Amino acid sequence: MDINSVTQLLNATQTNQWTTNNPIPGAPPQENPTQTPPVANGGFGAAGVYQAGVNAQEPQSFQADMNRVRDMWNSHQQQVDSFRRMVETLLNQQAERQGFVSGWNIRDIEVTDEMRAEAQEMIDEGGYFSVESTATRLLDFAVAISGGDPARIDLLRDAVQRGFDQAERMFGGELPEISHQTLEAVMNGFDEWAASGSAASISLLANR
Judged on CB neighbours under 10 Å (0-12, 13-18, 19+), 134 is buried
Planar angle of CA 106, 108, 110, nearest 5 degrees: 95
Planar angle of CA 30, 31, 36, nearest 5 degrees: 70
Label residue 89 left, alpha or beta by phi (over 0 means left) and psi (-120 to 50 means alpha): alpha
Give tens-digit pLDDT for 39-82.
Answer: 444 444 554 444 445 455 555 555 656 776 677 677 767 877 88
Cβ contact 43:51 at 8 Å? yes
Q: Which residue has the higher pLDDT, 88 or 186?
A: 186
pLDDT tier at 92, thresholds 50, 70, 90: confident
Would you kindly state where each structural domain of the chain is located, as residue ranges?
Answer: 20-62, 66-206
Residues near 67 by beta carbon (within 8 Å), at least 6 away in sequence: none
pTM: predicted TM-score of the whole model, two decimal places: 0.62
pLDDT tier at 166, thresholds 50, 70, 90: very high
